[in-house]
Amino acid sequence: MNKQAELPVAGMDCADCAARIERALRRVAGVESAYVSLGSGRATVVFDPSRASEAHLAQAVEALGYRVPGSRASLQAHQGAAPRLFGIASGLFVVAVAGVVLIGLAAERLGLIEAASRLVPAPVALAAVLVGGLPIFRKVFLAVRARSVTPHALMTLGIAGALIIGEYGAAAVIVFFMRFADFLDAYTAGRARKAIQELVALQPLEARVIRDGIEIDVPAAAVGAGEIVLVKPGERIPVDGTIISGRASINQAPITGEAMPVERAEGQAVLAATISLDGALRIRAEHVGADSTFGRIVRLVEEAEARKSGAQRLADRVTAYYIPVVTGVAAAAWLIGGSASAGVAVLVVSCSCGIALATPVAVVAAVGSAARRGILVKGGTALEALARAEILLLDKTGTLTVGRPQVTSVHPVGGRTAAEVLAVAAIAERYSEHPAAAAVMAAVPSTISAPSWSEESFLPSGGNEDAARIEVAPGRGVIVHEHGRQVVVGSQRLFAERDLPLPERLTDEAAALEAAGQTVLFVAEDGRTAGIIAVADAPRPEVPEALRALRAMGLERIMMLTGDNARAARAIADALGVECRAEMLPEDKIAVVRAFQAEGRVVAMVGDGINDAPALAQANVGIAMGATGTAAALEAADVAIMRDDWRLVPEAVRISREAFGVIRQNLYGTVAYNLTGIVLAAVGLLPPVLAAAAQVIPDFLILLNSGRLLRSGGRR
């Protein structure tokens, strides 16, 4: 059986680092899959424990020059303050040497001195190159030994070329800008992962539990299922669980992003990382740590970075050909053009990590920031599909509507009363999980007064429910056989299939109710129609505004798919101004998605994440509404809206479009900049020193451009 391991990785400063580590881990015998998250600084590996171990995985990472904190080799190599002091001292030395060279070159251009190269003796410049460049040279050597070529290899060749032609000062300046570029890459990656780090920081580290009658503080991850957790006013709730005593206003913003607190009392569920604002609670723990809703969200956000979009895969392909092409151009400039300096400059100016950095910085920023607002996007692929969506398909019950329908009227026939029709319907509906069944069950106690109402009036003799036989007709209704009785509750279509009588007056009333947007349940007992029950589920109040925003974004078609009858569905669809297909089974919804995809359209599907899981999975991007605490919703959808607020749907589309606008600008801008720099260097207009300064600029521009996402989480 395969095992999954998570390894912390230190020393990554750009997307190319993560890609190299991924390739090295996948080459380890027994590894089935591996992905590395630059944002969280972690590698997740699935492997066969009979063929590999975590020690083997750590060795593969450290062979590239990175560290796995906690491994023996990492601890031996990085114990004590000496390595840190050496790094600081070497950095200051390189800055001093490069500063003197740059000032001297500027003074020479101004005519203040004649030979800037004499300001720094060759041995001093060479020492700066060796001391400052040693960490990079080591990584390049280890990468080459592991059959991987990095952009730093170009810079290393450029430094070697500068030394060969005697430009020692220029080589020192190149090392300075190389280290500065690495710092900038690390800073950019750190800004990108900030959103994830802030999210992780919301998880409580400790919990107060009752053990052997005593209150004690324990690590939150050590709380066991079923234990009683105490939460005081102002504290974060450390577990998913159920309140067994107490009442409080709960701030759910860390999970759902909603600003207003919600009231929670005994018997209601609460989630880890939410805050009890004004009440003390006793909570029975159900899910803790990584198994809690918050833990799953953090894991999915971290994993999202590794799910590459088409833009990232394009960048990877470009990078694969980039280094050989650049090397060829540099060789041509040197050998054919006759300028060794031009060849060195080509290698130096092309050594930007910008192409590899262009996509993941924006993806991590957008995913992390969206998660803080209650929108969980599972990586670059989902972002891209959402940004390109042309067709939007919508479930009705629980998605467009509040999902809590109520009985609005009862129409009996055959001499029965409304109370009797509800009592008969309840025999079958107590076995159904459909929202309309819940409405019927909620209506029965308020309509039938004691003592004529009791549950025994429609339970089998002695309360033995095992005697009942239930038939579920998907999308049509339910049939219950119980001690010789048969009760049917469902649609007119089900009654037609079962050849049950339908009085004309009843069908006319049903048609009028359905035309008004209500769902009609036909009720029969022992082959005789008892009446109909009308149930209504109103659209969510924010849906019209959200749909207007989506239309303004240019979505070509918005269509509601529902299992309800055509008349009831049409009333809702007309009120919202959307297309409608009704009386659909789950497989019918999948067929609609596939039909649009066959036309080359990009399809987004919005559903509740459970009943619509097949259609959500088939769509190019599935969006689950109200996925708080629902493991199935988090796993089924590509995008999970963590609270029941439709305004977050157009917000998710807008964030994705803005993110991919930033990615395109980053990617195309970096390519254009690098090509311009290579041409200028090849023709001799960009000397090696200026080329070293120029190669830092794309990374800086990516940081500035992506800053819109990093600062605002996608808000304009």
Query: What is the tens place of the pLDDT at every residue in 370-414?
Result: 877 888 888 778 888 899 999 999 988 778 887 677 888 999 998
Give the CA count within 13 Å in the CB-facing half-sphere of 450.
Answer: 3
pLDDT confidence tier of residue 319, bands split at 50, 70 and 90 = low
Highest-confidence range of 60-74, 191-205, 207-221, 425-439, by mean pLDDT? 207-221
Q: Give the lowest-confidence range in 44-48, 89-93, 116-120, 561-565.
A: 116-120
Residue 393: its pLDDT value, please?
A: 94
Strand, coil or helix: what is 435? helix
Strand, coil or helix: what is 95? helix
Instruction: List where CATH 3.30.70.100 sits in the chain.
Output: 3-57+67-72
* pLDDT of 302 above 70: no
Extract the tokens encoding 167: 């430009």
Residue 457: its pLDDT value, please?
A: 40
Q: Give the lowest-confidence range in 72-86, 290-304, 537-551, 636-650.
A: 72-86
Fold that domain 3-57+67-72 belongs to in CATH: Alpha-Beta Plaits (3.30.70)
Distances (CA, A) of 265 to 166, 193, 237, 247, 627: 78, 36, 14, 4, 21
Angstrom distance (rounded) from CA 299 to CA 492: 46
C-beta of residue 64 within 8 angstroms of C-beta of residue 20: yes
Residue 80: its pLDDT value, please?
A: 46
Extract the tokens encoding 533: 């029950």
Query: How much of the chain exceeds pLDDT 70, in percent?
Result: 80
* pLDDT tens-digit readout, 456-481: 444 443 444 445 788 888 778 889 98
Strand, coil or helix: what is 445? helix
Name the residues annotated as catalytic.
Answer: 395
What mean pLDDT is predicted for residues 421-431?
88
Q: At what angle do helices 340-349 and 648-682 cross, to 10 degrees?
A: 170
- Tell the burial category of 147 from Cβ atoms under 10 Å away from its Cβ (0-12, 13-18, 19+): exposed
- Structure letter (DSSP) for residue 10: B
> How many CB atoms within 10 Å of residue 628?
21
pLDDT confidence tier of residue 238, bands split at 50, 70 and 90 = very high
Instruction: List where CATH 2.70.150.10 sits in the chain.
Output: 224-287
What mean pLDDT is predicted for residues 679-700?
83
* pLDDT of 651 above 90: yes
Mean pLDDT over all residues of the chain?
79
* pLDDT of 703 above 70: yes
Residue 273: its pLDDT value, please?
A: 86
pLDDT confidence tier of residue 245, bands split at 50, 70 and 90 = very high
Residue 461: its pLDDT value, please?
A: 38
Angstrom distance (rounded) from CA 71 to CA 5: 14
Residue 465: its pLDDT value, please?
A: 47
Give the residue carrying structure tokens 């006319």.
508
Mention every residue, 6+ apart, whose C-beta is less than 8 A from residue 680: 349, 686
- Tell the burial category of 13 from Cβ atoms under 10 Å away from its Cβ (0-12, 13-18, 19+): buried
Extract the tokens encoding 560: 């509601």
CATH 2.70.150.10 holds for 224-287: yes
* pLDDT of 511 above 60: yes
Angstrom distance (rounded) from CA 343 to CA 161: 8
- Tell the burial category of 288 from Cβ atoms under 10 Å away from its Cβ (0-12, 13-18, 19+): buried
Residue 463: its pLDDT value, please?
A: 44
Q: What angle do CA 364, 366, 372 make, to 5 degrees?
A: 100
pLDDT confidence tier of residue 158, bands split at 50, 70 and 90 = confident
Q: Give the lowest-confidence range in 38-52, 424-438, 501-515, 605-619.
A: 605-619
Residue 228: its pLDDT value, please?
A: 93
Residue 74: its pLDDT value, please?
A: 47
Q: What does the DSSP assignment read for 591-647?
A: HHHHHHHHTT--EEEEE-SSTTHHHHHHSSEEEEES-TT-HHHHHH-SEEESSS-TT
What mean pLDDT is predicted for residues 250-271?
78
Residue 374: its pLDDT value, please?
A: 82
Task: From 388, 382, 389, select the one nearest 367 (Cα to Cα).
Answer: 382
Domain 377-401+539-656: give its CATH code: 3.40.50.1000
Instruction: List where CATH 3.40.50.1000 sits in the chain.
Output: 377-401+539-656
* pLDDT tens-digit readout, 356-380: 677 777 787 788 778 778 888 887 7
What mean pLDDT is predicted for residues 494-508?
90
- Structure letter (DSSP) for residue 405: -
> Which run of H or E residues covers position 3?
strand 3-8
What mean pLDDT is predicted for residues 652-657?
92
CATH architecture of 406-536: 3-Layer(aba) Sandwich (3.40)
Extract the tokens encoding 583: 């009386």
- Tell the burial category of 390 from Cβ atoms under 10 Å away from its Cβ (0-12, 13-18, 19+): middle
* pLDDT of 297 above 70: yes
Angstrom distance (rounded) from CA 525 to CA 523: 7
Q: Give the lowest-confidence range in 215-219, 250-254, 346-350, 443-447.
A: 443-447
